[in-house]
Amino acid sequence: MISTAKLAAAGVVDRLYATFDSPRRQMWLMVAIVVVMALLPLVMGRYTTTIMTNALLYVVLALGLNIVVGYAGLLDLGYAAFFAVGAYSVGILTVQFDWNFWLAIPPALLAACMAGVIIGGPTLRLRSDYLAIVTLGFGEIVRFSARNLEITGRASGLSNIPEPSFFGYVIDSYVDFYYVFLLLAVMAVVASHRLYHSRLGRAWLYVRHDEDAAEAMGINRVRVKLAAYVTGSVFGAIGGIFFSVNLGAISPESFSFEQSVLILMAVILGGMGKIPGVILGAFIIILGPELLRELGELRLLLFAVIMLLIMLLRPSGIWPERRN
Amino acid sequence: MPAFETFLQSIVNGLVLGSFYALIALGYTMIFGVIKLLNFAHGDVYMIGAFVGFGVLSLISGVVGAGWFGLAIAILVSMVAVGCLGVIIQRVAYQPMLSAPRLSILITALAVSLVLQNSALSLTDGKYTAFRTDLGFGGFELGRLFISHQAIVLVAIAALLMIALEFFVSRTMYGRAMRAVSIDKDMCRLMGINVTRVVAITFLIGSGLAAAAGTMAGAYYGSIWYFMGFLIGLKAFTAAVIGGIGSITGAMLGGLILGLLESFGTQISWIGSEWKDVFTFAILILVLVFKPTGLLGKSEVERM
């Protein structure tokens, strides 16, 4: 029964995607989407705008994880740790040391790069499953540390993170932050696209397909894998930096394993390695449970069941990369 | 000598904790052995086992009481019911995914975990459920050291289950088939082994053991809730990895080692109970970095 449904679904869906597979059409589609999204706050209420802001944050995070998982084929179950490093770096510098927000960004990015190297370095030799579990352990270590250290405000976290101002204009309303995240998401899409078609992007592809052959072709796999971790962690940290000033407060529970799982699900549901797919996945992950909100307690259950069905019907994700 | 007694008490606590870890780790290791899947839903299967055991005990406590006899029945029923649930999960969610990309089946396992967790959440409103038994608080006293009857019986049941499993795997026909399937599935199929059935039995036993651990943990700690499977699932996985994933003896050894390490870890003042979980994961990472195959695992050439 499932296989018939699977074939029918795949037929219709594939034809639909084939229409949008040409790069030029995709570009115009993207431009159209961005224009529509830029106009949305004019008609959306506060509630919807806030949710859309969250979805855009997830686009940034999912595109970052996509570099690690989708491009380089390294399974990371602790991605929320990088998100946390960005958020806490800015939180600590602005709250505990009274730094200016913009000045705090470079050290936060540096911290994220270091975190990428710390987790990437010792784990590069590991098999995929072990890699998954080590990254998971690393994510938990970061969260437990945030919960137990004095400087991170222990379990209650950091609050009163000051709003950033931009040449005198204070970014504080929910509409302001919607546009900030829209800008970040567009930048993340452009960066992902450029990376994918760069020399490094091709190296990631080779390493994902066959590590040994890539090595034989003269690709330094240690450097290439580390580059994937570091790039991914920078995306995550940027998401975290703006997340912390948007909410004005952060606590360890925002960076749980569940968070890492949700971001990973966005990547895989949408279609690993495929930028439009990952964006779609991020929106499904955030908007799905919201659309089901009327169901109350059961909504997450139903959402999980739907996700299971999507995986069973389209194991490579909703909008997968074409095989070549 | 209080220091010595603390030391002994740590061993006792570590053994109890380690038995739970070992029972769950066995399921992880067996399932990984036959279909190379990290079954992320395994911790939640343990949680469901605790709830089924609780349900059975509440139903029968009017007739046979909530003492040892009632608890034994609850454990058995829970093992069978949750074992079957494990087989259903495998058939519905994992079987169709076996030829899909490896990451997809991992995500499916995470989705199953969410389904189980949220089912329990909506049935219990996310509250802690008190798991009451009439086992009393008796035990042995050796000097200032106290060992409860529960601790002894639970460790004994766990040891019994593990010995039974070891016997099953090393002596019976299905155990032999299981070991063969974990080495080369295609070759087994050619040799006329019903691989599907072997995988189903693996899920039956693995989930059953987790259910036994869940029910026993409920009786031991006195309360259960929908999220209890998450952290212990991770720890059990850690235990399986320390022992060498895929190795059954390794899982038992890893469980006990992790239980003891954690129990001692909380006694060391600069670690303390707050840093207990960081300690566990730090051990995991160190083991993997220096000995990626675990203590008893075999090295394996793998290609993604």
Instruction: Tell me the residue range of the domain where A106 lies.
Output: 49-256
Mean pLDDT of B191-201: 93
**The Cα angle at residue A16 between residues A27 and A66, in degrees rounded to 5:** 55
For residue B149, give how far its alpha carbon lies from the nearest alpha carbon of chain A (Å): 34
- Phi then psi for residue A62, to 5 deg, are -65, -40
Structure confidence at residue B252 as a pLDDT band (50, 70, 90): very high
pLDDT value for A10: 67
Q: Which residues contact A241 (CB under 8 A, 6 or more apart)?
A: A86, A87, A89, A90, A104, A105, A108
Say which residue the tokens 């949220």 belong to. Answer: B118
A74: left (phi over 0), alpha (psi -120 to 50) or beta: beta
- Over 70: is that where the pLDDT of B2 sits? no
**Residue in chain A lying closest to B227 (CA):** A258
Q: Helix or strand or coil: residue B141?
A: strand
Q: Write out pLDDT tens, residues A83-92.
A: 999 999 999 9
Number of domains in chain B: 1
Cβ of B282 and A132 within 8 Å?
A: no
Who wins on pLDDT, B153 or B275? Answer: B153
CA distances from A315 to A259, A299, B97, B156 (A): 22, 23, 7, 43
Answer whether residue A313 is part of any domain. Answer: no
CA distance B38 to A130: 10
Residue B247 lies in a domain: no
In a domain, A322, yes or no: no
Closest Cβ opposite residue A304 in set B111, B275, B288: B111
CB pairs < 8 Å spanning A and B: 126
**Strands (E) located in chain A:** 165-166, 169-170
CB atoms within 10 A of CB A47: 10
Residue A127 touches partner B, C-beta closer than 8 Å:
yes
Residue B252 lies in a domain: no
Decide if B118 and A148 are in contact by the 8 Å CB cutoff.
no
The tens digit of pLDDT for each residue in B131-151 reads: 888 877 777 777 777 888 888
Question: What is the ipTM for the molecules in this complex?
Answer: 0.81
Residue A324 is given by DSSP the state -
pLDDT at A313 over 50: yes
Amino acid occupying residue B2: P
A136 contacts on B by Cβ (under 8 Å): 234
A324: pLDDT strictly greater than 60: no
Instruction: Report pTM.
Output: 0.86
| Residue A264 near residue A58, CB atoms below 8 Å | no
- In sequence order, the β-bridge partners of residue A158 are A250
* C-alpha closest to that of B297 among B25, B44, B16, B19: B25
For chain A positions 47-106, those within 8 Å of chain B (CB to CB) are 69, 73, 75
User: Does residue A170 sit in helix, strand or coil?
Assistant: strand
The whole-number average pLDDT for the span A154-166 is 87
Predicted local distance difference test score (pLDDT) of residue A44: 87
Q: Which residues in chain A are closer than 8 Å to B234, comparing Cβ atoms?
A: 136, 140, 257
Residue of A125, A93, A302 whose CA lies nearest to A226: A125
**Mean local confidence (pLDDT), A98-121:** 92
The interface residues of chain A toward chain B in range 286-305, judged by CB-CB distance below 8 A, are 297-298, 300-301, 303-305
Search chain A and give the residue with CA nearest B235: A137
Q: Answer whether A264 touches B (CB < 8 Å).
A: yes
Could you give the number of structural domains in chain A?
A: 1
Q: Give the domain range for residue B105.
A: 3-230
**Tens of pLDDT, residues A280-300:** 999 998 998 888 887 777 777
Indicate whether A287 belongs to any domain. Answer: no
Using CB atoms, which residue from A122, A312, A316 is nearest to B101?
A316
Q: Is residue B275 part of a domain?
A: no
Contacts for A82 with CB less than 8 Å, ≥ 6 apart: A64, A112, A115, A116, A232, A233, A236, A237, A240
How near does any CA of chain B get to the CA of A232, in Å? Answer: 18
- Cβ neighbors of A130 (< 8 A, separation 6 or more) are A123, B241, B288, B292
Q: What is the mean pLDDT of residues B212-223?
A: 93
B32, B103, B119 member nearest A272 (Cβ): B103
pLDDT reading at B101 higher than 90: no
